[in-house]
Amino acid sequence: MSIEIYIDLVLVIFLVITGLAVIYVRNLFAVAMLSGIYSLLMASIFVVLDAVDVAFTEASVGAGISTVLMLGVLAITGNREKVSHKSSVLPLLIVIGTGSLLVYGTWDLPMFGDPNAPVHMHVAPEYISNTYKHTGMPNIVTAVLASYRGYDTLGEVGVIFTAGIGVLLLLSKRKTKKEVNQQNKLKEKL
Partner 1 sequence: MELILSHINYWVAILLMMIGFYALIARGNLVKTIVGLNIFQASVFLLYITFGKVSGGTAPILQKNTELYSNPLPHVLILTAIVVGVATTSLGLALVVRIYESYGTIEEDEIAELDSKEEN
For partner 1, the closer CB: 112 or 182? 112
Please provide the DSSP assignment of 97-137 as one string. HHHHHHHHHGGGSPPTT-TTSGGGTSSHHHHHHHHHHHH--
**How far is the C-alpha of 22 from the C-alpha of 35, rounded, in Å?**
7
Q: Provide, rounded to whole angstroms, the least separation between the CB of residue 23 and partner 1.
A: 5
Output the smallest distance, CB 152 to partner 1, in A: 7
Neighbours of 48 (CB within 10 A): 18
Closer CB to partner 1, 120 or 185, in the complex: 120
Q: Residue 138 Cβ, how far from partner 1 at the closest point, in Å?
A: 4
What are φ and ψ of residue 27, in 5° steps? -75, 120
Q: Which is nearer to partner 1, 116 or 189 (CB)?
A: 116
Q: Which is nearer to partner 1, 160 or 190 (CB)?
A: 160
CB of 27 to partner 1, least distance (A): 11
At residue 80, the 3 state secondary structure works out as strand
Give the sign of the dihedral formed by CA 160, CA 67, CA 22, CA 20. Answer: positive
